[in-house]
Amino acid sequence: MANTKSASKRARQTAKRSLRNRSVLTHLRNLKKPNRSNSSGEANQLSSLISSIDKAAKRGIIHRNAANRHKSRLARAAAAARK
């Protein structure tokens, strides 16, 4: 339990931010990965997935290097699927 007024406000803010961040992380995990069969739809799907990852990194929900790692793996998988 918070002892001061400012500590209780911090606890409320942290709870609110944690809930918001958790929903974004859940959204990222549940996004569909690009499939190998449809190459035209794959580009749109890949760009929206990368955009979502960039937005999460910009807001500090995931680390910048983690976002870059995820994007790199997605791009590598998409390139392998095209071959």
Give pLDDT tens digits for 24-62: 999 999 987 766 555 666 778 888 999 999 999 999 999
Q: Which residue, 12, 27, 32, is CA-closest to 59? A: 27
Q: For the chain, which residues make up each domain, given as ranges?
A: 5-82
**CATH architecture assigned to 5-82:** Up-down Bundle (1.20)
How many whole angstroms from its chain centre is CA 1? 32
State phi, psi for 36 to the nearest 5 degrees.
Answer: -85, -15
- Number of Cβ atoms within 10 Å of the Cβ of 52: 15
Task: Determine the pLDDT at residue 18.
Answer: 96
Mean predicted confidence (pLDDT) in 61-73: 96
pTM of the model: 0.77
The Cα 56–Cα 51 span in angstroms is 9
Task: Determine the pLDDT at residue 51.
Answer: 94
pLDDT at 4 over 90: yes
* Higher-pLDDT residue of 2, 11: 11
